[in-house]
Amino acid sequence: MRNKKPLSRILTTLALAIIATGCNTVSYDEPLISLDNYHIESGFNLDVVASEPFIEAPVAMDFDNKGRMWVVEMKGYMQNLEDSGADMPNGTISILEDLDHDGITDHSKVFIDGLILPRAIAHVYGGLLYAEPPNLYFVNIEDDMPVNKVLVDSLYADGGNVEHQPNGLMMHIDNWIYNAKSNFRYQMKNGKWIKEPTSFRGQWGITKDNFGRLYYNNNSTQLIGDYVLPNTVIKNPYYKPTATLNKTLTPDQRVYPLHATSVNRGYQKGVLDKDSILVNVTSACGPLVYRGGQFPESYTENAFVCAPEANLVKRHVLSFSYNKMTAKQAIPEKEFIASTDEGFRPVNLFNGPDGNMYIVDMHRGIIQDKAFLTPYLQKHYADKKLDTIIGMGRILKVSHENSTFQETVKIEDLKTKALVDLLKSPNGWLRDRAQQLLVFKKDKSTIPLLKEIIADEANPIAQIHAMHALNGMQALDYNVLENILYSDSRSNVISHALTLIEQFASADHLNSTEKIISHLLQKNDTEIDLYIANTLGAWIPFSTETFFPLILELSQKHEAEKAYQEGIINSLRGVEEDFLVYLNTIKKDTSDTILSELLAQTLNNKSKDLKHAIFTETTVGTDARTAGYKLYKKTCAACHGINGDGVDGLAPPLKNSEYVSGSTERLALIILHGLSGPIHVNGKLYDLNTTMPGLAGNPEFTDKDLQDIISYLNNAFSRTSKNISIEKIKSLRETKPKDGGTFSEKELLELKY
């Protein structure tokens, strides 16, 4: 590794020469960070490019058009085992600079402060989009200051908890902004923000490949992806496609840490091996498909995944086919980056304008939200003093030792022709940002230049970017797409053109489109056929007699493949019954086919008005344990303690109490009807002169609230995790103490639960 400092793990307590250049702007001597206990795959360099005191608890980043890093700092996250301070407005979005040009941050300024648990940013439309739950905001930028603040969505991250709220904010090649842990996408058009449904994706972090497929993950699955372009297969509101969306790409979830790390529920069978080493990932997040163009060719479009609980970053080799993808561990039983530094918490990965890969290292001891923190993990954190790793944060850069030096392009200074030329760059970050700026500027002089790129079949990736740039500028026309669809362009270019031509569906273009589709079907290209199956829905309403036969031809051609049949269902939206009439008219029996099964399912949903959830859900909702934790803090913690340790003279402990780890029915009865002392907990008598009141008569608490509290108690203060149904809670409301007051321990234990 390059630039390793043979010093202690961190020397940020060096005398800091603070140079005040403004109220929110500071410079420091560059801190020296040792990476001696970090191991990276041979041939690569790992460098610290930013660290404390410039940043604290970074969770996301983006580069602006000058090439500067902007970092989201979630300082309020789990500052201690009690989770006190989570609601403090101490989060910031900061701008980092390297004024002496040595590759290490030496200057920072706060762009926005006073934020509560901010989680995502994106430089778009000449300003900054950022998420501070529950809101999504957009601000313009003037002299590195936010102006003209606009509320984009007040329900962006409504509900959930810090680990389960939307994030990502990734501008895509189709000019829409996508998110993880969300079923909505966003776009500004003609000065107005648009929000519309999309497929629900992942948990923390989102990325894309050069074609435009999206990738994400959840805690226990390293990589998940969509086989097709976003929003191409979800246009029938009464059918939920499964063949091409939310597909697990990693065949196993093994990780190979260098040491025994602290993880939740390590006591459960199979979580740890005989040496207490984690077996399978438990906190996968922040995936990245590398598109930088600076690594060797074999690393292009590899998928990298963070595993902060194991202090490592994984590398997978992606394999593509027309309607399927897989991801395979790059080197058996070896990780791309692994460390014995238990403060190393990689939570997000990004491509950079210089072609290198950047790692957002939250560098925090506690990496588990309070609502999900088990007594087992809490003890590990305390014993190792991991709760003392706080106030830190790192941005690490991964580069290849044989890559050529690439000076960061200040893309904001480029003229029109140079921006268009960047669409041909091997660096995906530069291509993406160039397209975004072309769309934002809407310079009509770029239209002929973009059309030249579209006609150049030698660079299919540039063709795709140019088509979407024209579309974003509202300068794409039917004839441009018609030429592409008749050309010898690659199938991936044809596929994008098919998705774009839907917007021109009209009676005027009916005959020419029918000829295009017939021409494309003759290619017998499996990828093109899949996009035809999904795109015909825009044209069918203008002439069922023209397109029903083509739909049937496609169905028969790919009769055994569900992906194509789902595409046909997607295109038959609103005319399913008419298609059945057509089949009956031509006396075509499809009763034993996949298509028939899917049609029946769709029509049944339609008759009951059961729509795909992405068209009905407005928020991510709040999971039971998080909801229970909030209720516990508000109602129970004052007596039992935030950590369930009890309060002397007031209430016994809940941690490892037999009343929590035992019967859920008995626990529910206590919560419903209350309990009077004396009481025995863990063999100790608590002869307290107090009574715990029941909640059964409190109209502020629903049966669902009580279920959530029990869910949290079982997770937080017991090694068991048991559920109780709403119906059971309802029935237990009638199992009341004999005296009409609260239960005594004796009466409670006499009940057969």
Alpha-carbon distances, residue 605 vs 319, 570, 655 (angstroms): 35, 14, 46
| Whole-number pLDDT of residue 6 | 33
| Whole-number pLDDT of residue 644 | 85
In the chain, where the domains are located: 44-400, 505-607, 624-750
| Whole-number pLDDT of residue 18 | 35
Our separate counts of H helices and E strands in the chain read 20, 33
* Structural contact between residues 219 and 283, judged by C-beta atoms closer than 8 angstroms: yes
Residue 263 makes CB contacts below 8 A (sequence gap 6+) with 271, 272, 278, 282, 283, 309, 310, 377
| Whole-number pLDDT of residue 273 | 94
Distance CA 197, CA 183 (A): 6
* Helical segments of 455-593, H only: 460-472, 478-486, 491-501, 510-521, 526-535, 544-557, 562-571, 576-585
Q: What type of residue is 438? A: L
| Whole-number pLDDT of residue 9 | 35
* Structural contact between residues 81 and 366, judged by C-beta atoms closer than 8 angstroms: yes
CATH no. of 44-400: 2.120.10.30
Task: Give the mean pLDDT per block of 10 residues along the chain (753 residues).
Answer: 40 34 56 92 97 96 96 95 89 94 91 97 98 96 97 90 91 98 95 96 97 96 97 97 96 96 89 95 97 96 98 97 89 97 97 96 93 86 94 97 78 92 97 97 96 96 98 97 97 98 96 96 96 96 95 95 97 96 90 93 95 86 82 83 81 86 89 87 82 85 89 84 87 87 87 84
Cβ neighbours of 15 (radius 10 Å)? 7
Percent helix, strand and coil across the chain, each rounded to 5? 30, 25, 45
CA angle 686, 690, 696 (to 5 degrees): 110
CATH no. of 624-750: 1.10.760.10
Distance CA 414, CA 598 (A): 51
* Structural contact between residues 39 and 336, judged by C-beta atoms closer than 8 angstroms: no
Q: Please choose, from the candidates 462, 438, 357, the residue with its C-alpha nearest in 3D space to the C-alpha of residue 175.
A: 438
Q: What type of residue is 666? A: R
| Whole-number pLDDT of residue 676 | 85
Q: Which residues of 521-550 are buried (b: 16+ CB within 10 A; e: fewer)?
A: beeebbbbbbbbbbbbbbbbeeebebbbeb
Is pTM beyond 0.85? Reply is yes
Dihedral pair phi/psi, residue 553, rounded to 5°: -60, -45
| Whole-number pLDDT of residue 19 | 32
Prior bond of 653 cis (ω within 30°): no
* Structural contact between residues 91 and 116, judged by C-beta atoms closer than 8 angstroms: yes
